[in-house]
Amino acid sequence: KPISVVKSVLHRNDCSTVEHDKSVNTSNQYWCDWAPFDTSNGPDLLGTLDLCYLISYAVAMFLSGHLADRMNLRLYLSAGMILSGIFTIAFGLGYFFKIHSFAFYVIIQVFGGIFQATGWPGVVACVGNWFGKGKRGLIMGIWNAHTSVGNILGSFIAGAFVEENWGLSFVVPGIIIGVVGILVFLFLVPHPSDVNCKLPDHSDTHLAPSMSINTANTE
């Protein structure tokens, strides 16, 4: 989410409204933008970053599910979150270290997409371990609210820093993701059998009453 907020300062539509010292050279209409996005094709470069992220995320999804089925979900999810946080922070470090290499931001986006792809398959597998088919729809519906909640919080946190220090718009969310990843490592129980809990019912027996009613109606 941070990059969608920060785009507005990496390449502004109009620099004439930006406050500046008299010593700043404003002869270039893109003087207030962040290089390498301070050109007429700045929006294209930002779009390329989105493309790199989405392609890497989509490709990684094909492998992520297979890995989630074969690895300890606690380690898998915590590692994915911590690494996602690291690469989110790394994007923000471009501000503090004055990095203006487009290749740097592309690499960050690619690896960010790869590690963020661990989230969905891993969580779905974990939820499937804990809840039977009869309750899985309800639980998934409640859990899926994280998409909207995450977007709201992500926009709020990134937006709080974007005008004064856009680097913090990445660093702060990255730290939060990393901390949550550590909590997942410490407290997530991937399977009920790990703590000697009763296993959920994964059969289709809960469908029997409705099936019998339908059968009776057709006779």
DSSP-H helix ranges across the chain:
2-10, 42-70, 73-96, 102-116, 119-130, 133-143, 146-159, 168-187, 208-218
CA distance 130 to 58: 27
User: Per-residue confidence at 205, pLDDT binned at 50, 70, 90?
Assistant: low
CB 2 within 8 A of CB 169: yes
Tell me what pLDDT residue 211 has: 43
Give the predicted TM-score (pTM) of the model: 0.88
Mean pLDDT over all residues of the chain? 89
Q: Is the pLDDT of residue 219 over 60?
A: no
**Half-sphere exposure of 161 toward its Cβ, with a 13 Å CA cutoff?**
16
Model confidence pLDDT, tens digit, residues 111-152: 999 999 999 999 999 998 998 877 778 888 888 888 899 899
- Average pLDDT (190-211) is 74
State yes or no: cis peptide before 173, omega within 30 of 0. no
CA distance 178 to 80: 9
- Could you tell me the domains of the chain? 2-210 (1.20.1250.20)
- Average pLDDT (56-64) is 95
- Average pLDDT (85-109) is 98
CA distance 136 to 119: 18
CA distance 162 to 158: 6
